[in-house]
Structure 1
Amino acid sequence: MRGSTHLFSGLAAASLLGTDLPGLGMAALGALLPDIDHPDSLISREITPGAPLGRIGRGLIGLAILGAWYQTRLPLLLTVGITFVALAFLPHRGITHSLLGLVLAWLAVKALGWPQAPFLIGYGIHLAEDLLTPSGIPLLYPWQERMRVPLIQTGGIIDRALGLTAMVIFLIAAWRYVPVLLH
C-alpha cells in the first residue's frame, strides 16, 4: 500500500473512534511507522531526507542520537536512537510488519507516556492493509513465512480508491476539530 493510504486509513479509523488531536498524531505515527525500514517510504523521506549512504547513514544517525541521549538522558532520544541503529540492519517488511514489531513499538510508546490506543489503531491498520497485498507480511515474525490475502496491488486502483475514501472519511470526521483549532 502507498504511504498516503496507510496514513489516511489510520487517521480515519482513529477519528471515527473519537480520538483527540494528540491521539490523531499518534494514529498517524502508528500508520506510517512500520514502513520506516524502507528508505523510500513516506515516513523515511520525512524523517531522514537525503540520509547519506542509505542504511549506513541511518545507523550513523542512530549513533548520533544515542550520543545525544547519553548527554541528556531523555527517554525519547534513547528510543529513537535504538530504532535508527536497528534500521541499519532490518530488511523491509520484516519485524516492523509483524505482531512482534507492533508489541515492541507499543511498549516504546507506553514507556514514553504517549497515547497508546490510537497508535495501536494506526499500526494495526497498516499491518492489515499490507496483509492484503501480494507481497504479504511476516505477521508471526521471527517465523519468515509471509501471510497474504492478495486482493490489492500497491499503487493500483483499489489502493488509490481506499486511500481517497479514507481521506474523505477522515476529513468529515475531523471537521469537529475546526472550532478547537480556530480558538
Structure 2
Amino acid sequence: MMGRAHLIISTGVALSVMGMSGVPVTLPAAAVALVSSLLPDIDEPNSLLVRNAIPSGLLRILQLAMIGAAIFVVFYGKEYAPWNIALAGLIGIVSYLPSRTLRHIVMFLIGLGLISFGQSFSPWNTIAGSVLIAGSLVTHRGLTHTIYAAAAWTGLLYFASQDKTGGESLWFAGGLSYSIHLLADALTNRGIRPLPPFKWRIKLKIMSTGSKWGRMVENVCIVLTLVLVWYVFMAS
C-alpha cells in the first residue's frame, strides 16, 4: 500500500481498537500510532516518512554543498596533490548519485551522528540512530516487515513508557499500528516474509501497489477505516 493509505488505515484502526478495548486514547498515543503506521517503510527512501524527513529540496542543497566542497578541495588542497583531486572526484561522484541513494547516505550519517553525539542528551537518540542506520542498509519489505521488527518496536515502547502516565497507551498504539501496516502489505501481490530466514510469505494477492485496482482497494479500506473511527468515537 501507499504511504497515505498506511497512515490513515493503521492509525485509524489502531486508535479505534484502543477505544473499543478501553485503553485510553491520548494525544501522545495518537502521535506514536501515526509514526508507527509509517515506520516499517523507513527502509524505502521514497516512502512518505523518509521523503518528508529528508525532502528533495534538502538533497539539492546537499548536492550543491558537496560540489562546492569538491571545488574547495581542488584549489585549497594542492599541497596534498594528487590526493586532493581524488577526494574531490569522490565527493563529486557522490553528489550526482540518485536521490534514493543520497537519502540512504543521509539516513546513515544522521544515525551515526545520533549514536555518536546524541547519547548525552537522551538515550532515545541511540535507538533512533540505530533505526536510521538499519533502515539505510536493509532492503525494502525486508527486516522492517517482520514479526521480529514489530515485536522489537513494541518492546522498545513498552520499556520506554514504564512508570510514565499513560504508558500503556503508547506501546499499545505503537505496536498495533506497526502490525496493521504489515497486515495491509500482506494484501499485496508481493506480500511480506514475517519470519525470515524462513521463506514462508504472506501474500493474499488482493491488490498491486500503485495500480488502478490497488488504488481502489486502498480507497475502500480508507473509507471503512473512517467509518470505524466515526462509529467508535462519535456514534457510540
- Residue 20 of structure 1: aligned partner: 26
Identify if the C-alpha distance between structure 1 residues 28 and 68 changes in structure 2 by more than 3 Å, giving closer, same or farther. same
What value does the CA root-mean-square deviation take over the aligned residues? 2.2
Runs (4 or more) in structure 1 with deviation over 3 Å come to 167-176
Higher helix share: 2
Q: Is the 8 A contact 1:12 1:173 kept in 2?
A: no
2:172 maps to 1:117: yes
Q: Is the 8 A contact 2:15 2:173 kept in 1?
A: no
Identify if the C-alpha distance between structure 1 residues 175 and 21 changes in structure 2 by more than 3 Å, giving closer, same or farther. farther
Q: State the alpha-carbon separation in 2 of the partners of residues 120 and 76 from structure 1.
A: 17
1:86 partner SS:
helix
Partner deviation per Cα, 1:128-151 (whole Å, 9 max, x = no partner) = 110110011011123344321111
Identity %: 29
Bigger Cα displacement from structure 2, 106-115 vs 126-135: 106-115
Q: Is the 8 A contact 1:5 1:166 kept in 2?
A: no
Partner deviation per Cα, 1:66-93 (whole Å, 9 max, x = no partner) = 1232442x11101101111112211000
Match of 2:113 among 64, 69, 75: 64
Partner deviation per Cα, 1:119-170 (whole Å, 9 max, x = no partner) = 1110111111101100110111233443211112224211122124324543
* TM-score (normalizing by structure 2): 0.67
Report the count of equivalent residues: 175
Greater Rg over alpha carbons, structure? 2
Match of 2:218 among 141, 159, 172: 159
- Residue 150 of structure 1: aligned partner: 205
* TM-score (normalizing by structure 1): 0.84
Stretches of structure 2 that go unaligned for 5 or more consecutive residues are 20-24, 63-101, 162-166
Stretches of structure 1 that go unaligned for 5 or more consecutive residues are 177-183
2:152 maps to 1:104: yes
